């Protein structure tokens, strides 16, 4: 169980680090074209769905 928690913490830290490094190169929302706004919205939605699915898998595996 400790390894699951450790993996979760490490994964979260890596995700935050990658997000910060990529986030510095992004344009502000107001400077994006309509196509770029749509693409970024799709990416955010897909990432959120994937995150929730992985959390559910983590909880299910943890309880068994």
Domain residue limits, the chain: 2-63
Write the pLDDT tens digit of every residue in 12-21. 998 888 888 8
Interval 12-56: pLDDT, tens: 998 888 888 887 778 888 999 999 999 989 999 999 999 999 889
Distance CA 20, CA 14 (A): 10
Whether the predicted pLDDT of 3 surpasses 80: no
Confidence band, pLDDT 50/70/90 cuts, at residue 64: confident
| CA 58 – CA 6 distance, rounded (Å) | 12
Q: Is the per-residue pLDDT at 8 higher than 90?
A: no
Write down the pLDDT at residue 41.
Answer: 92
Contacts of 61 (CB under 8 A, 6+ apart): 4
């Amino acid at each position: 169980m400790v390894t699951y928690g450790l993996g979760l913490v490490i994964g979260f830290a890596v995700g935050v680090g990658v997000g910060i490094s990529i986030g510095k190169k992004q344009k502000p929302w107001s400077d994006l074209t309509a196509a770029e706004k749509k693409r970024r919205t799709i990416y955010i939605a897909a990432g959120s769905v994937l995150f929730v699915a992985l959390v559910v898998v983590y909880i299910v595996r943890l309880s068994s």
